[in-house]
Amino acid sequence: QKEVEQNSGPLSVPEGAIASLNCTYSDRVSQSFFWYRQYSGKSPELIMSIYSNGDKEDGRFTAQLNKASQYVSLLIRDSQPSDSATYLCAVTPSGTYKYIFGTGTRLKVLA
């Protein structure tokens, strides 16, 4: 089992819709969770950090964390064509300074 798993996609949504991206992780006591957006040929940029169970909202983005079920999700409301990118989930397992990345979900927002 991979430490951090994401559906590779592509996930296609129409402009204005809600895009839902999911990530599961294997280390039950992971402590920090991050979502990054990566445009083709570019480096990842941080979208959201989340550390405790529940929802965290920032503009059109909402991160949801459920430690009991070991998943973290990212919702993008009012999706725009400029949101088309690969979204990477990263997790820091307990007792380590490492960041474990999923392989990313490619999102396509159709105009």
Partner 1 sequence: DGGITQSPKYLFRKEGQNVTLSCEQNLNHDAMYWYRQDPGQGLRLIYYSQIVNDFQKGDIAEGYSVSREKKESFPLTVTSAQKNPTAFYLCASTSTGGFQPQHFGDGTRLSIL
The answer to whether the bond into 10 is cis (omega within 30° of 0) is: yes
CA distances from 19 to 67, 77, 96, 104, 105 (A): 22, 7, 32, 14, 11
Instruction: In angstroms, give the least distance from the CB of 67 to partner 1.
Output: 16
Choosing from 10, 15, 32, 53, the residue that interacts with partner 1 (CB under 8 A) is 32
Choosing from 42, 57, 59, 77, the residue that interacts with partner 1 (CB under 8 A) is 42
Whether 90 contacts 103, CB under 8 Å: no
Subset of residues 51 to 80 that bind partner 1, contact rule: CB under 8 A: none
**Interface residues toward partner 1, by CB under 8 A:** 4, 8, 31-32, 34, 42-46, 49, 88, 90, 92, 96-99, 101-104
